[in-house]
Structure 1
Amino acid sequence: MFRPLPFAASLVLAACSAIVPSTAARLASFDPLTADPAAIELAVILPPGLAVSPGSATLELSADRGAQHRSGTFRLADHAAPGIAVPAGATARGFVIAEADVARMRALQTEIAGWKATGAAKGSLGLGIGGCAIGEGPAPDATGSVLIRVRKNGPFLPLIADGKLVDLLGPEVLAAIKPCQSAG
């Protein structure tokens, strides 16, 4: 199971029940095994008191065919998320697959494509993000959102919209988020 950090693992596990149904329907035709890695972009909207730990964002591509399993974890490069509306005090961060990992992901997709030629293969994507607390950390009723873009210059689709962190992460994980390291 994909577990880069407790915060991330909980987000990956809990997010399934918080996914926006209309986005799930629109993504039904999205195949992570053939998607252009350079076109996938995520935007995370964080409440006041919460930040993404530097270097912690990853995307995992996995595929199964019968008993066979292949997976790869790819670093996500963090950048400002222009054009994303955020609530007062919240911040938005954008993430794309790091340039150095795009070729690795394409190679894994090519390997898995061979499976599809000889039988069914199912692929999935998982997002891992480590979080850290700013000041007193997020409020007990804080919410966050995740948006995804799967086509270059396509629209951002709300994957998780205003999900309560306590529901997404669980109270224990939310309480265990450590303070951010100062840059000094």
Structure 2
Amino acid sequence: MDQTQNTEFFVKLLTEHQNRLYGYIYSLLGDRSRTADVVQETNLVLWRKFAEFDPERPFLPWAFSIARFQVLAHLRDHKRDRMLLNEELIQTLAEETEKEAERLGSFQAALRQCLQQLPESHQSLIEQRYLKSQPVNSIAETLNRSAGTIKVSLLRIRRQLAECVEKRLVEGSNG
């Protein structure tokens, strides 16, 4: 990758995960002002260290580990401000949040795969209802079906997706 592609790749990853990074840091600090400061510092450190990032590995756990160190540095530098959280608690919260992010990532990957396995008509129905937030009545009108039929179809598709995702997650944890 040349420098421009590298920069674009970094910006794409950072913007894609910015909300989760903010949420992670906020979960550790519990203060919006401090979180904004630490997110800004974390972004700078991520930029400086991006050459060390292995693109074969997930971005978010790497970013979380850097964010955790930035939170700890912030706590150390602001000890006199009488914060409620100590470093040990921050470490515990960080580990739990990272595990949860990993579980969410696994869930999202499984859901993506399960969605791709659905018939095109079911994919379209899911897209209209949940990605485009179209009301059931509107979908029913477009497809010339009753709202009740659409609701039942969506229920069945959701159940099918839930079973598929659960199966994939079980397979993933055993493999």
Please tell me the TM-score bracket, short chain as reference: under 0.3
Q: Which has the higher helix share?
A: 2
TM-score (structure 2 length as normaliser)? 0.27
| TM-score between both structures, scaled by the size of structure 1 | 0.26
**Bigger share in strand:** 1
